Amino acid sequence: MVDNRYATALVIGSVLSLLACVYLSVAMGTQHWYQYQFTTEDVDEKTYSDALFRLNGTLGLWWRCILVPKNTHWFREPEPKLETKCVAFTLSQQFKTKYEEPGNHNSGEHLLRTYLWRSQFLLPLVSVGLVFLGGLIGVCACLCRSLTPTLGVGVLHLLAGLCSLGTVCCFLAGMDLLHNKLELPEGVTYSLGWSLYLALISSPLQIMAAALFLWAARSHRKNYTRMIAYRVA
> Which domains are assigned to the chain?
4-222 (1.20.140.150)
Give strand pairing partners of 83.
68
Helix (H, G, I), strand (E, B) or coil at 88: strand
Give the Cα separation of 74 and 153 in Å (integer): 56
Check: CB of residue 152 under 8 Å from CB of residue 130. Answer: no
Amino acid residing at 219: S
- Beta-carbon-side half-sphere exposure of residue 20 (alpha carbons within 13 Å): 33
Give the Cα separation of 213 and 2 in Å (integer): 13
Tens-level pLDDT at each residue, the chain (233 residues): 456 777 788 888 889 999 999 999 998 888 888 776 644 445 555 555 665 666 667 778 887 777 766 665 545 555 667 677 777 788 888 888 888 877 777 788 888 989 998 999 999 999 999 999 998 998 888 787 777 788 899 999 999 999 999 999 999 998 888 888 877 666 667 788 888 999 999 999 999 999 999 988 887 665 555 445 445 44
Cα separations in angstroms, 189 against 6, 34, 172, 183, 201: 49, 11, 16, 11, 24
Q: In what order do the strands lie in the sheet with 82-88?
A: 82-88, 63-69, 58-59, 34-36, 190-192
Give the Cα separation of 198 and 22 in Å (integer): 9
Residue 11, phi then psi, degrees to nearest 5 = -65, -50
